[in-house]
């Protein structure tokens, strides 16, 4: 259980994690953070002059145990943009408290990122979105029953962060432009984050559709909430790997999720590269200006 008593000093721990990463890549200042979801870690191979640090060596980073999640921090240049990628997640369904699952976002913030790109594999809830397609995240539903900000306020965090625009509208526009540039079909919608690890029942999928969800997964929301509390703007993409339970005819399994992410990898990478380049330009010009 996560209680306020056994939660470490997250600000101090994030500073330690950032210092560890900085020692591995002296003088390197990433501008964009990227979280790579299940089966989407291949983007890390597009980094040039990359320095790779296993999670096990970074203070506060929990080990990942799910197939398709390598557990590495990759620092380097992505198409000319200094960036840092997290290859793999520690999910809440593995038993990690929400604050621990989202902790790497705090470390990237301490490293100085100006924007955070989040990705995941997700089931489609909107029946007009097909497996193998991509969806820009316009908003989310946190249905995990957990919140990474529970406990005494971490110094520097907002206590009650406004969630009106956790998914930054300008960065969403960047994703649309990047999709056009890279000729990738990109849906938009609401990501429902559930705790997992069981997939949903058909009734739960029908419920999610009525609640306004377009896709469903078991990650991302704790990271987005943490980023918001720290003032880091987010953008993100779901890789739709399967129809939600009851929409399609076949039972769901993780192997299918991995197979589809592999099939979509080239399109996903082209989109993210274009988006990161454009987001960096926008950040340099000043978001919101
Ligand atoms: N449900 C929840 N998480 C998922 C799914 C799903 O159908 N597909 C990939 N991640």
User: Cα of 6 to ligand 1 centre, how many Å?
Assistant: 31
Other residues' Cβ atoms within 10 Å of the Cβ of residue 280: 21
Decide: 37 in ligand 1 pocket, CB within 6 A. no
Annotate 102-170 with DSSP letters as a single string.
THHHHHHHHHT-SEEEEEEEEEE-STTSPTT-EEEEEEEEE-SS--TT-SSPPTTS-SS---TTSB-HH
User: Cα of 95 to ligand 1 centre, how many Å?
Assistant: 18
Whether residue 1 lies in the annotated active site:
no
User: Cα of 120 to ligand 1 centre, how many Å?
Assistant: 9
Q: Which of 14, 62, 69, 122 is catalytic?
A: 69
Which tokens sit at 250? 């076949």
pLDDT value of position 2: 45
Which tokens sit at 181? 């540039």
Whether residue 69 lies in the annotated active site:
yes
What's the length of the chain? 289
Which tokens sit at 60? 């506060």
Whether residue 204 lies in the annotated active site:
no
Q: Which atom of ligand 1 is nearest to the CA of 218?
A: 3
Decide: 135 in ligand 1 pocket, CB within 6 A. no
Which of 154, 72, 69 lies closest to 106, judged by CA?
154
Residue found under tokens 């979801």: 37
User: Cα of 266 to ligand 1 centre, how many Å?
Assistant: 21
pLDDT value of position 288: 67
Residues 6 or more apart in contact with residue 272 via CB below 8 angstroms: 34, 43, 117, 119, 178, 237
Q: Which atom of ligand 1 is nearest to the CA of 217?
A: 3
User: Cα of 199 to ligand 1 centre, how many Å?
Assistant: 6
Please report, in angstroms and rounded to a whole number, the separation of the first and last CA atoms in the chain: 43
| 8 Å CB contact between 132 and 240 | yes
Cα torsion 227, 230, 232, 233 to 10°: value is: 70
SS3 225: helix
pLDDT value of position 191: 98
The whole-number mean pLDDT for each consecutive block of 10 residues of the chain, a chain of 289 residues, reads 71 97 96 91 90 94 71 94 95 95 97 97 96 97 97 93 96 97 96 97 97 98 98 97 89 84 91 95 79
pLDDT value of position 67: 63
Query: DSSP assignment, residue 277?
Result: H
Give the H/E segment covering residue 222.
helix 221-230
| CA dist., res. 36 & res. 44, Å (int) | 8
pLDDT value of position 1: 47
Decide: 261 in ligand 1 pocket, CB within 6 A. no
Pocket test for ligand 1, best of 38, 131, 244 (most atoms within 8 A of CB): 244
Verify cis geometry, omega within 30 degrees of 0, for the bond prior to 246. no
| CA dist., res. 99 & res. 15, Å (int) | 16
Q: How many CA atoms lie within 13 Å of 173's alpha carbon, on the beta-carbon side?
A: 7
Query: DSSP assignment, residue 218?
Result: S
Instruction: Note the pTM of the prediction, 2 decimals.
Output: 0.95
| 8 Å CB contact between 272 and 117 | yes
User: Cα of 89 to ligand 1 centre, how many Å?
Assistant: 15
Decide: 68 in ligand 1 pocket, CB within 6 A. no
Q: Which residue puts its alpha carbon closest to atom 6 of ligand 1?
A: 123
Whether residue 96 lies in the annotated active site:
no
């Amino acid at each position: 259980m996560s209680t306020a008593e056994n939660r470490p000093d997250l600000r101090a721990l994030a500073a330690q994690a950032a210092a560890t990463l900085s020692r591995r890549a002296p003088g390197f200042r990433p501008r964009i953070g990227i979280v790579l979801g299940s089966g989407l870690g291949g983007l890390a191979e597009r980094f040039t002059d990359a320095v790779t640090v296993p999670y096990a060596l970074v203070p506060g980073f929990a080990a990942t145990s799910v197939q398709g999640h390598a557990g590495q921090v990759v620092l380097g240049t992505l198409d000319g943009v200094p960036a840092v990628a997290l290859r793999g997640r520690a999910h809440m369904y593995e038993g990690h408290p929400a604050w621990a699952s989202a902790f790497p976002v705090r470390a990237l913030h301490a490293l100085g990122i100006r924007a955070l790109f989040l990705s995941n594999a997700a089931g489609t809830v909107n029946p007009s979105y097909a497996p193998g397609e991509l969806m820009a995240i316009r908003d989310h539903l946190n249905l995990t029953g957990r919140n990474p900000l529970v406990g005494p306020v971490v110094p520097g965090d907002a206590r009650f962060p406004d969630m009106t625009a956790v998914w930054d509208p300008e960065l969403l526009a960047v994703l649309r432009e990047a999709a056009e540039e890279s000729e990738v079909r990109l849906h938009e919608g609401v990501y429902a984050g559930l705790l997992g690890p069981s997939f949903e029942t058909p009734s739960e999928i029908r419920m999610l559709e009525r609640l306004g969800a377009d896709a469903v997964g078991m990650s991302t929301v704790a990271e987005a909430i943490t980023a918001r509390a720290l003032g880091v703007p987010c953008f993100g993409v779901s890789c739709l790997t399967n129809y939600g339970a009851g929409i399609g005819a076949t039972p769901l399994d993780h192997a299918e999720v991995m197979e589809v992410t592999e099939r979509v990898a080239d399109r996903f990478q082209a989109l993210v590269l274009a988006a990161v380049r454009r987001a960096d330009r926008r950040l340099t010009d000043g978001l919101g200006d």
